Amino acid sequence: MAVKEMYRMLNFADLGDERGKLVVIEGNRDIPFDIARVFYIYGSDPTVVRGQHANRDSEFVLINVAGTSKVRITDGSNEAIVELNKPRQGVYLPKMVWKDMYDFSEDSVLLVLTNTHYNGKEYIRSYEDYLKVMEEGNNG
């Protein structure tokens, strides 16, 4: 998988006015899937690493709506690091990419949108297992 296939940066419109900023994100319009689940990560610090998994069925969009964080994205061969630091910008992650979120600022709120409801069975939580799956080409 080429690095450019592992993720895509998304920019969202600022629909605000003199009253303040407004960003609207709609499934299958602003992001490439219907939204089934929303969660956010906050209260982490620069030493914490979140994620550390790949998903067989889930696609993700990550947006730092406050503060900053970084995302390491890899397919086991290629790697990219994305800094999320604008509430109008997100990163789209397709199925079967490994993701680590880290270097959270004190005020970081990382919003995550996904196309599936939670199912722990579709997660690959061991990097070694992920590499084996990718090497075998059995990545669903």
Report the CATH number that the domain containing residue 90 is assigned in CATH.
2.60.120.10
In this prediction, residue 10 carries a pLDDT of 97
In this prediction, residue 4 carries a pLDDT of 77
Phi, psi (rounded to 5 degrees) for 128: -65, -45
Give the residue ranges of the chain where pLDDT is below 50: none
Q: Of 59, 67, 35, 62, nearest to 50 (Cα)?
A: 62
**Domain range spanning residue 27?**
3-136
In this prediction, residue 12 carries a pLDDT of 97
Interior angle at CA 88, CA 110 and CA 68, nearest 5: 40
In this prediction, residue 69 carries a pLDDT of 98
The residue from 8, 53, 72, 88 that is catalytic is 53
Active-site residue flag, 53? yes
What is the DSSP secondary structure assignment for residue 90, as one 8-state letter?
E
Q: What is the spatial distance between Cα 131 and Cα 22, in angstroms, rounded to a whole number?
A: 41
In this prediction, residue 138 carries a pLDDT of 66
Decide: pTM greater than 0.85.
yes
CB 79 within 8 A of CB 73: yes
Provide the number of structural domains found in the chain.
1
Q: How far is CA 125 from CA 15, 101, 114, in A?
A: 38, 14, 17
In this prediction, residue 114 carries a pLDDT of 98
